[in-house]
């Protein structure tokens, strides 16, 4: 027996453990040692005032710098406490009471209290501010009142019930009532440190940010975020490939496939997003289009036939390289709660479409479809010239409808001309556009479905509903907007979705997938379908400096 | 005829013949979508592959060549004739007329054409056939593209006005339109040719740019302009070199046209 040896293995094991631990710790340290995350904004931010935000770039900055009372988890689509520890809605849906977190300070060191919430709400609801965030809270005329119950408790009362009231606070970044720095004093994980107009924006970590991780470490992990202002997507992709950028929040399917082919681990397809592309016919009574065409467009059979004659699977497969899903209706299946699961995407049935048209007196003659009076069925689809996918979809719809003997002229217009035609002059026959939905709640679609609304695209601003089904939609949308019970709201909105499927005022085409690119150096990112797709958990994102250096 | 000109002649003839024989060479046509094979690489069935929606690129190049080779020179002719009338006459007349023409062309060149074209598009009806849209597009280009050429021509005509042979012609009793047509215009021919040939590729590319405003050739009809728009966003040429064919064809055809002209005609 060798008694002198036993200590050695134990010592070497100890050395090994020490080495392993130090390696592990250094790995953790390198992953969480701060660093600068870099990505692009597609345009100049229009404002740094969180209550006036109305554009994508300003939204991103507000998300990264603003502190909110409640936060919608972009992954689970559930509301989570943030600056408010808890909240309570009154039964009539008019009042919400927040219990606030204590010991929280703004980035400039000033304390956060109910006074700041009251100040923010009063400023938000000031009609002179013209805040689009505030518009969501305006259910009827009358003042919004705030009552400070204690420094950590506040009740906000609205003149009329607001459905989904608590979710709206996800968009309200709390401002300081007393700080001389005004909007520069923030409660979010980052604060604006430097802004070079037209070039870049630097956000530094907010040392006063209140959140901590499960180990008690103060968040965010990152030291800073550099946002370069870059509208050219080619340049953005090239810079990402060169390792100069860490994220691309939203990318096109073409770029996605190229990236996936060269670096499969960096391209992320989170599945169907909330965004939808659709087309519709002009049903405006005073529109400068021939009466016989107006009669076609006003026929439900005609609209249904067009819908059934479009091959949505081909649109998703060809135009979006498979990174889109045939659309079902106004709500994407990605919207877990509000989607009506009884509805299915329209299947491609050209024969059934022809039967529907024949039921309305249309008939084929020498390969061309004619109506009862012998007019050849021909119409134009206007769409925006800057969108390649939409141009391609229009060309494919042109071919699909050509098989039914319908002649379609595709007209691409610059966006302002297009908007003028569809919303002011109504000088168009059919239009194809997309809807970028950032709000899960159907209240965000009130301005589309109410017959009196400006965005009721097929026949806007009606003094009284012109059809029975539009009257029913008005009633149902108002009912869901005033009901406090989510189940009742869902019942009403499900019926709205069914009416849309029956009457086809919008012919929904596809829901694009949420595509993004995330560098391998970025750890903790969980790209999702809700905006901001890649950096919604920016306070928990870390950078692996070793991997970044090797890119 | 030197070898280069012979070669250019053959190239132009082959391209013209192929575009005229598009119906036979590419019987599938430019609009048919082979949806089972979008963005396909070249194959026996599709010599240049297919575009994003599965249309045969070879057929589209042939039909697009036919349209662009016919209409871009037609538009160039319109603009050159207008330039000759405005610039040539102003230069010949000189003095007040020259100053007026130059002022007018300067004003014309300084107008924000992008916005005016948007207005023009807004005035056009939506339901126009693709062929009509082609004609409208190139007519607009022809009518709007004369100003730069007119400026060049006015300078050349101004120089001619004071030349010895014009003085001699005047001294011989020749004046007015007869002097312009017999002595001035023929001497402006090299400049006119040069302006004409320069205008063709400019108009082809302008047509591609107009597509962004919705003024280009309407789908599904192809043109060199719309084919060149396919190159937007192409990051690596090495992966899909066949997509460069429309661009190469444009370069080859334009170079051939230049070679077909004599040196005297090109060098103005």
Which residue among A233, A234, A409 places its CB closest to the CB of B126? A409
Query: What's the confidence (pLDDT) of residue B231?
Result: 81
Task: For residues A538 and A200, give the distance between their C-alpha atoms in angstroms, rounded to a whole number.
Answer: 18
A541's tokens: 């994102």
The one-character DSSP state at B40 is P
C-beta separation of A383 from A408 below 8 A: no
A14's tokens: 């100890």
A430-435 and A378-384 strand pairing: parallel
Which residue among A258, A395, A411 places its CB closest to the CB of B53? A395
Q: What is the CATH code for A44-229+520-550? A: 3.40.190.10
Q: What are the chain B neighbours of A398 within 8 Å (beta carbons)?
A: 219-220
A378-384 and A224-229 strand pairing: unpaired
Query: What are the beta bridge partners of residue A98?
Result: A87, A154
B168's tokens: 């001699």
Right CATH number for B3-266 from 1.10.3720.10, 1.25.40.10, 1.10.150.130, 3.40.190.10? Answer: 1.10.3720.10
C-beta separation of A450 from A422 below 8 A: no
C-beta separation of A306 from A506 below 8 A: no
Task: For residues B42 and A218, give the distance between their C-alpha atoms in angstroms, rounded to a whole number.
Answer: 57
Which residue among A254, A388, A412 places its CB closest to the CB of B214? A412
Per-residue pLDDT of chain A (551 residues; tens, 9 = 90+): 343 444 445 555 555 555 555 544 444 444 455 899 999 999 999 999 999 998 889 999 999 999 999 999 999 999 999 999 999 999 888 999 999 999 999 999 999 999 999 999 999 999 899 888 888 888 777 889 999 999 999 999 999 888 889 999 999 999 999 998 888 999 999 999 999 999 999 999 999 999 999 999 999 999 999 999 998 888 999 899 999 999 999 998 888 998 998 888 899 999 999 999 999 999 999 999 999 999 999 999 999 999 999 999 999 999 999 999 999 999 999 999 999 999 999 999 999 999 999 999 999 999 999 999 999 999 999 998 878 899 999 999 999 999 999 999 998 888 888 888 999 999 999 999 998 877 888 988 888 999 998 889 999 999 999 999 999 999 999 998 888 788 999 999 999 999 999 999 999 999 999 999 999 999 999 999 998 999 999 999 999 877 777 66
Task: For residues A71 and A530, give the distance between their C-alpha atoms in angstroms, rounded to a whole number.
Answer: 13
| Mutate: best of B52, B116, B125, B237, partner A, most A CBs <10 A | B52
Residues 6 or more apart whose Cβ sits within 8 Å of residue B204: B68, B72, B223, B224, B225, B228, B250
Which residue among A233, A238, A411 places its CB closest to the CB of B126? A411
C-beta separation of A100 from A114 below 8 A: yes
The one-character DSSP state at B182 is I
**All structural domains of chain B with their residue ranges:** 3-266
| Per-residue H/E/C for A353-372 | HHHHHHHCCCEEECCEEECC
A373's tokens: 């009076």
C-beta separation of A522 from A247 below 8 A: yes
Q: What are the chain A neighbours of B221 within 8 Å (beta carbons)?
A: none
pLDDT digits (tens, 9 = 90+) for A240-285: 999 999 999 999 888 899 899 888 889 999 999 999 999 999 999 9
Task: For residues A445 and A295, give the distance between their C-alpha atoms in angstroms, rounded to a whole number.
Answer: 28
Give the DSSP H or E segment for B165: helix B164-171
Task: For residues B130 and A127, give the distance between their C-alpha atoms in angstroms, rounded to a whole number.
Answer: 49
Q: What are the chain B neighbours of A234 within 8 Å (beta carbons)?
A: 233, 235
Please choose, from the candidates A407, A253, A242, A394, the residue with its C-alpha nearest in 3D space to the C-alpha of residue A320: A253
Sequence-ordered strand ranges (E) for A197-346 = 200-205, 224-229, 247-248, 267-281, 324-326
| Per-residue H/E/C for A144-195 | CEEEEEECCEEEEECCCCCCCHHHHHHHCCCCCCCCCCHHHCCCCCEEEEEE
Which residue among A379, A410, A429 places its CB closest to the CB of B218? A410
**Residue A481 main-chain phi, psi, to 5 deg:** -75, -25
B143's tokens: 């009518």
Say whether A196 sits in a helix, a strand or coil: strand
Q: What are the chain A neighbours of B213 within 8 Å (beta carbons)?
A: 385, 413-414
Compare all CA atoms of chain A with the CA of B130 and give the residue at the minimum distance: A409
What's this model's pTM, rounded to 2 decimal places? 0.82
C-beta separation of A447 from A454 below 8 A: yes
Q: Is residue B263 scored above 90 in pLDDT?
A: no
User: What residue ranges of chain A are covered by domains with CATH 3.40.190.10?
Assistant: 44-229+520-550
Say whether B50 sits in a helix, a strand or coil: strand
Query: What's the confidence (pLDDT) of residue A164?
Result: 86
Task: For residues A138 and A124, give the distance between their C-alpha atoms in angstroms, rounded to a whole number.
Answer: 11
Is residue A454 classed exposed, middle or buried when 0-12, 13-18 and 19+ CB atoms within 10 A define those classes? exposed
Count CA atoms within 13 Å of residue B212 on its CB side.
Answer: 11
**Residue B96 main-chain phi, psi, to 5 deg:** -60, -45
B179-184: long-range contacts, CB 8 A cutoff, minimum separation 24: B179/B92, B180/B88, B180/B89, B180/B92, B184/B88, B184/B92, B184/B157, B184/B160
Residue in this structure with the two tokens 């989607």, named with its chain if needed: A339
Four-CA torsion A272, A274, A277, A283, nearest 10 degrees = 140
Query: What's the confidence (pLDDT) of residue A30?
Result: 45
φ/ψ region of A326 (left if φ > 0, alpha if ψ in -120 to 50, else beta) reads: beta
Please choose, from the candidates A179, A223, A220, A188, the residue with its C-alpha nearest in 3D space to the C-alpha of residue A202: A223
Residues 206-265 of B with CB under 8 A from A: 211-214, 218-220, 232-233, 235
Residues 6 or more apart whose Cβ sits within 8 Å of residue B267: B190, B194
CB atoms closer than 10 angstroms to residue A424: 9
C-beta separation of B229 from A395 below 8 A: no
Say whether B121 sits in a helix, a strand or coil: helix
Right CATH number for A272-512 from 3.10.105.10, 3.40.50.720, 3.30.465.10, 3.40.50.2300? Answer: 3.10.105.10
The one-character DSSP state at A514 is E
Please choose, from the candidates B113, B97, B115, the residue with its C-alpha nearest in 3D space to the C-alpha of residue B145: B113
The interface predicted TM-score of the complex, written ipTM, equals 0.80
A62's tokens: 């507000």
User: What residue ranges of chain A are covered by domains with CATH 3.10.105.10?
Assistant: 272-512
Subunit contact B35:A318, Cβ cutoff 8 A: yes
Residues 6 or more apart whose Cβ sits within 8 Å of residue B167: none
Query: What's the confidence (pLDDT) of residue B122?
Result: 67
Whether residue A398 lies within 8 A of chain B, CB to CB, comes out as yes
Whether residue A395 lies within 8 A of chain B, CB to CB, comes out as yes
Query: What are the beta bridge partners of residue A324?
Result: A512
B237's tokens: 């040429």
pLDDT digits (tens, 9 = 90+) for B156-215: 988 888 888 888 988 888 888 888 888 888 888 888 988 888 888 888 878 777 766 667
pLDDT digits (tens, 9 = 90+) for B58-68: 999 999 999 88
B196's tokens: 């004409």
Compare all CA atoms of chain B with the CA of A237 and give the residue at the minimum distance: B235
């Amino acid at each position: 027996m060798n008694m002198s040896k036993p200590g050695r293995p134990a010592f070497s094991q100890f050395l090994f453990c020490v080495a392993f631990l130090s390696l592990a710790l250094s790995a953790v340290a390198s992953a969480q040692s701060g660093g600068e995350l870099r990505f692009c904004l597609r345009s100049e931010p229009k404002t740094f005032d969180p209550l006036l935000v109305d554009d994508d770039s300003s939204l991103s900055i507000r998300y990264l710098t603003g502190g909110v009372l409640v936060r919608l988890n972009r992954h689970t689509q559930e509301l989570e406490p943030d600056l408010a520890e808890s909240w309570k809605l009154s039964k009539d849906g008019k009042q919400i009471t927040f219990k606030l977190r204590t010991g929280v300070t703004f980035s400039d060191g000033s304390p956060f209290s109910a006074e700041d919430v009251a100040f923010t709400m009063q400023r938000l609801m000031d009609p002179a501010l013209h805040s689009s965030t505030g518009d969501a809270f305006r259910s009827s005329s009358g003042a919004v009142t705030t009552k400070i119950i204690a420094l950590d408790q506040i009740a906000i009362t609205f003149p009329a019930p607001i459905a989904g009231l608590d979710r709206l606070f996800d968009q309200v970044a709390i401002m300081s009532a007393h700080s001389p720095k005004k909007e520069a004093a923030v409660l979010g994980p980052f604060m604006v440190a430097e802004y070079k107009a037209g070039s870049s924006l630097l956000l530094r970590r907010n040392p006063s940010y209140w959140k901590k991780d499960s180990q008690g470490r103060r968040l965010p992990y990152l030291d800073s975020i550099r946002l370069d202002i870059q509208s050219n997507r080619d340049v953005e992709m090239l810079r990402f490939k060169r390792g100069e950028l860490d994220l691309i929040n939203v990318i096109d399917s073409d770029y996605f496939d190229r990236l996936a082919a060269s670096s499969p681990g960096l391209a992320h397809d989170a599945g169907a997003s909330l965004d939808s592309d659709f087309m519709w016919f002009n049903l405006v009574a005073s529109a400068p289009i021939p009466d016989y065409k107006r009669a076609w467009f006003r026929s439900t059979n005609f609209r249904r036939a067009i819908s059934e004659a479009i091959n949505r699977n081909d649109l998703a497969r060809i135009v979006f390289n498979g990174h889109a899903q045939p659309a079902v209706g106004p709500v994407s299946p990605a919207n877990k709660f509000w989607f009506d699961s009884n509805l299915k995407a329209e299947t491609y049935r050209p024969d059934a479409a022809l039967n529907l048209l024949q039921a309305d007196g249309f008939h084929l003659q020498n390969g061309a479809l004619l109506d009862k009076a012998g007019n050849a069925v021909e119409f134009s689809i206007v769409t925006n010239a800057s969108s390649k996918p939409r141009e391609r979809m229009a060309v494919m719809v042109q071919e699909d409808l050509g098989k039914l003997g319908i002649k379609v002229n595709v007209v691409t217009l610059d966006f302002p001309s297009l908007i003028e035609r569809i919303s002011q002059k109504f000088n168009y026959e059919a239009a194809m556009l997309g809807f970028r939905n950032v709000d899960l709640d159907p209240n965000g679609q009130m301005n589309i479905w109410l017959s009196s609304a400006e965005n009721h695209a097929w026949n806007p601003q009606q003094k009284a509903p012109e059809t029975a089904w539009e009257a029913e939609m008005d009633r149902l949308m108002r009912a869901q907007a005033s009901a406090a019970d989510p189940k009742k709201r869902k019942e009403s909105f499900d019926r709205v979705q069914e009416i849309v499927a029956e009457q086809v005022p919008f012919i929904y085409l596809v829901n694009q997938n949420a595509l993004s690119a995330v560098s391998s150096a970025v750890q903790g990112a969980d790209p999702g379908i809700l905006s901001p797709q890649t950096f919604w958990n920016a306070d928990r994102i870390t950078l692996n400096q070793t991997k970044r250096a090797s890119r | 005829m030197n070898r280069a000109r012979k070669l250019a002649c053959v190239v132009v003839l082959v391209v013209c013949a192929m575009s005229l024989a598009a119906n036979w060479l590419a019987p599938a046509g430019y609009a048919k979508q082979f949806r089972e094979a979008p963005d396909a690489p070249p194959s026996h069935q599709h010599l240049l592959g297919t575009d994003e929606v599965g249309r045969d690129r070879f057929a589209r190049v042939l039909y697009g060549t036919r349209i662009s080779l016919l209409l871009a020179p037609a538009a160039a002719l319109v603009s050159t004739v207008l330039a000759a009338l405005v610039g040539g006459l102003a230069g010949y007349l000189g003095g007040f007329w020259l100053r007026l023409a130059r002022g007018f062309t300067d004003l014309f060149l300084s107008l924000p054409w992008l916005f005016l074209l948007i207005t023009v598009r807004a005035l056009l009806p939506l339901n126009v056939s693709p062929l009509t849209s082609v004609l409208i597009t190139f007519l607009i280009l022809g009518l709007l593209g004369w100003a730069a050429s007119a400026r060049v021509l006015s300078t050349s005509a101004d120089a001619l006005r004071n030349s010895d042979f014009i003085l001699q012609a005047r001294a011989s009793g020749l004046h007015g339109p007869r002097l312009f047509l017999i002595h001035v215009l023929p001497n402006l021919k090299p400049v006119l040719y040069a302006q004409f040939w320069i205008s063709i590729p400019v108009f082809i590319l302008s047509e591609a740019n107009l597509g962004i405003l919705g003024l280009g050739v309407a789908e599904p009809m192809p043109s060199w302009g719309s084919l060149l728009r396919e190159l937007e966003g192409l990051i690596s040429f090495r992966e899909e070199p066949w997509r460069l064919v429309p661009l190469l064809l444009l370069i080859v055809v334009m170079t051939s046209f230049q070679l077909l002209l004599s040196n005297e005609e090109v060098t103005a």
